[in-house]
Structure 1
Amino acid sequence: MSDWYGDQAPVDRRVVVLVAPARGTWAPPGRDSEAWRLALAEDTYEVLAALDQVDVAVAVSGGDDNAVAELSALTWPGTPAYAVDAERPVLHAVELAGPAAAVVAVSHDVPDLPGLLIGKLFRALSHADIAVTPAEDGSLAAIGVKLPVAGWLTDLAPTFDTPLAVLESRKPRRHAVATGPGWHRLRSNADLARLDPGLEGWDATRSILRRA
């Protein structure tokens, strides 16, 4: 995909990539973990696809062609989809996104994420090497990276499970890490209480939760 734009790649191109695991992990009691994984990914993708002036792609961490095709079926036609290394899913997704000024990788399990938070990450990358949306459980909901990727980030290879404290301890200068407003990921029963039934969106996730 790195040759989409050839030598004429726009320096202001911005890309947001949904990153999902190849297999289901946690799911609410009585729900199928694979159906839950795909519902979360579908809703999170819809949030990203509604953003203005960004290109959207999807990536499957540790997946094969079948897993990529399964996730791609949830997207709009023409959305790039690819497998990424499970050991470094974020930076691999950034690499495969093609020429860009910045890329934001988003975890699949934030179906009600406000798109405004992604915009804040892109703005922060005007001065930071990396900008993150911290999750309430200590993980990261989204990771934005300015291109070219800074050497210290290449060495660290942060993932959604990298604690913010680790980024802060490794940053080479004061403003290398930018932190946006926090949000929540859906990784436990306690997280479900954060979903607001009154808000529009997250329809696939809502449907799974309504099933008896």
Structure 2
Amino acid sequence: MSSRFVAVLAGRAVATPPGADPAEFRLAMLEDTYEVVAGLEFVTPVLALTEPDEDAEAITWPGTRVVLTTGLEALLGQLADLGADQVAVVAHDAPDLPPLLLGKLFRALGSGEVAICPAKDGGLVALAARLPAPPWLKEIDLDTPDAPGRLRAAAGLPGAVRSGPGWHRLRAPEDLSRLDPGLEGWDNTRILLGGG
């Protein structure tokens, strides 16, 4: 059985609603996204930070690995060093991401080297890969606007990059309207938005 890791890659939030503290809102989104990952069965959750952040580390469950990284390419190497042979990396600003979408990415790795969940308005919500990661993943990250097309062009092989259903990230205040109150989860973000 493969060793699967899922890492939440913490970044900066820009979707702060009026009247909310940006740092507090970023942490709420990060915690909700981490809870999605930590609740998955048969995977090892990881929190990936690009700079030390005690508040972010405090949201993790006991035993969760926290790694400092410089970005997606470095993180894939770090996860391989931890013993992973399949990984998914998720953007921190997708607090209502359905866990099923991450499961679909891992299933897609059965026939492709890389699987992606495209983000509305460009970039990626998540990327999954078999490790060691293919060298053509260099210079692509979750925020690369044309990531799906660039990945396919870099791979040069039909079917090497599999695409699952897309989802949304909360990168601008207008993106907050994409949150579905009917979906379970995203409790911390919901509270800060005044939805109780």
TM-score normalised to structure 2 length: 0.92
The 2-side partners of 1:76 and 1:31 are apart by 26
Q: Distance in 2 between matches of 1:92 and 1:56?
A: 17
AA aligned to 2:41 is D
TM-score between the two structures when normalised by the length of structure 1 = 0.85
| Alpha-carbon distance, 1:189 to partner | 2.5
2 CA distance for matches of 1:165 and 1:33?
32
Q: For residue 166 of structure 2, give the secondary structure of its aligned residue in structure 1.
A: coil
Q: CA deviation at 1:24?
A: 4.4
Cα deviation code 1:152-191 (max 9, x no counterpart): 22xx232111221111221221011111100000112221
* Aligned residue-pair number: 191
Provide the residue aligned with 1:78 in structure 2. 63
Give the one of 32, 49, 58 matched to 1:60.
49
Deviation at 1:91, TM superposition (A): 2.1
**Residue 142 of structure 2: which of 160, 173, 183 is its match?**
160
Moved over 3 A (4+): 23-26
RMSD: 1.5
Structure 1 residues 102-125: Cα deviation after superposition (integer angstroms, max 9, x where no partner): 110000001100001001111111
Structure 2, unpaired ranges of 5+ = none
State the identity as a percent. 44
- Helix, strand or coil at the partner of 2:75: helix
User: Counterpart of 2:68 in 1: which secondary structure?
Assistant: strand
Would the aligned equivalents of 1:72 and 1:79 in 2 still touch at CA under 8 Å? no
Residue 61 of structure 2 aligns to a residue in which SS? Answer: coil
TM-aligned CA deviation for residue 199 of structure 1: 2.2
Where in structure 1 are there 5+ consecutive unaligned residues? 1-10
Q: Which moved more, 1:166-175 or 1:135-144?
A: 166-175
The one-letter code sitting in structure 2 at the alignment partner of 1:130 is V
| Alignment partners' CA distance in 2, 1:195 and 1:139 | 18
The whole-number CA distance in structure 2 between the counterparts of 1:109 and 1:180 is 18
